[in-house]
Amino acid sequence: MQKNDLFRMIVEDMSEEGEGIGHVDGHTLFVKDAVIGDEIEGKVIKEKKTYAYGRLMQVVSPSKDRVTPPCPVAAPCGGCQLQAMNYKAQLAFKEKKVRAHLERLGHFTDLPMEPILGMEGEPFRYRNKAQYPLGRDRDGKLIAGFYAGRTHQVISCGDCLLGPAINQKILDSVLSFMENCRIEPYEETTGKGLVRHILIREGFATGEIMVCLVINGRKLPFAEKLVEALLAIPGMASISLNVNRKNTNVILGDEIINLYGPGYITDRIGDVSYQISPLSFYQVNPAQTVHLYGKALEFAGLTGTETVWDLYCGIGTISLFLARQAGKVYGVEIIPAAIENAKANAALNGCANTEFFVGKAEDVLPEHFRQTGERADVIVVDPPRKGCDKVLLDTMLAMQPSRIVYVSCDSATLARDLRILCDGGYEIERVQPVDMFPMTVHCESCVRLVRMK
């Protein structure tokens, strides 16, 4: 197949990134926005030896699972890969994806996988955090929104249907301030301009709102006018600046300059309260976080006497769930500000049986074990997408905890790490997928491993 060739095909499967997969004349085609069961017409936009990428031109016969995306920019925006698929089919796709990774990459069979936990009700307006890049459209108008898929072209989208409706009012207020005060958005190509992103967080349980402007500098002109405008919005509790002067794709820098409020907002998951700063890692879907952390606590099987290590603990979100039913909980996180939040959150919730360490999990845990020889009864890990470092996995095996609870946001690296742990003497007892990110291809999993006797 060659570029610009037209084709017709039936979508037989979907890739891990949510692209429809079909076959034409022995070639495999990947087509964005196509749904399993669709018969489509498309055009080749990129060709390889045995496969090609196509652009959806027309749905000739729609799949039984196809729905009309409610978001007007669902196609060009890179955020929602599955919005054209009904939610039941999305859940089936994600459960299949997790199982396939564990079987194909981890070489596991007869997996004790439980049905995926999806959202109850409409799977929209669930995100408590959004990061909006800024730019100008073709007419020179200042806009905020999201990057188009695999590009850094900003698509204007103030009212993302995954976040709260109040975000539109906040963005309008910030953009109006910037226009009136002639403050320019950052341009990646030139490195000029001031405001890079607008970070918005909301505590769904408390109604408290945080706004943080990521800036290419250390000062925002007329900052007092921005504060005055934002304080007119009900619930506004924290306004700050984040300094990021690096030529990088990383959104946040390390320095926070507080403009209004205590520098954090407060939220609750179940009956546990958390203080959240701009740099804090905090799950974006509080409704599903209750289920995910509830499973982690259930899989830990605590009786009140256990020593537990919570690795990649963030601001102590899982640690404080565990501390209610454990003897002692140690938390490890690389970001110093997050550990300060974790300590404050432990005090806020009266959890005196916790201790937190700043550093890489693969450094802190081995050093602690080497110096003390203290073993863990339970280890909980919730690593980033790249999974756990090999040194950390080896230390976990050396400590021989009775149970390991692995919370994962990437089932491919999960499969790799589970294989190492199981080859080292553990077996998988339960696997629970949890849909934390409806309309996207991402899926969380919680796995309980037990040490074989």
What are the residue numbers of the active site?
409
Contact predicate 314/269, CB 8 Å: no
Q: Please tell me the distance from the alpha carbon of residue 282 to that of residue 415, in angstroms, as a whole number.
A: 24
Q: Please tell me the distance from the alpha carbon of residue 242 to that of residue 264, in angstroms, as a whole number.
A: 13
Contact predicate 96/171, CB 8 Å: no
> At a CB cut-off of 8 Å and minimum separation 6, what does 113 contact?
95, 98, 99, 102, 431, 432, 433
Q: Please tell me the distance from the alpha carbon of residue 357 to that of residue 422, in angstroms, as a whole number.
A: 28
Question: What sections of 268-316 are H helices per DSSP?
Answer: 286-300
Name the amino acid, one letter, at 404. Answer: I
R_g of the chain, CA atoms, integer Å: 23
- C-alpha distances (whole Å) from 105 to each of 247, 397, 414, 436 are 36, 21, 9, 23
Q: Please tell me the distance from the alpha carbon of residue 365 to that of residue 33, in angstroms, as a whole number.
A: 44
> At a CB cut-off of 8 Å and minimum separation 6, what does 190 contact?
none
Adjacent-strand bridge partners of 430: 448
Tokens matching residue 309: 């290590």
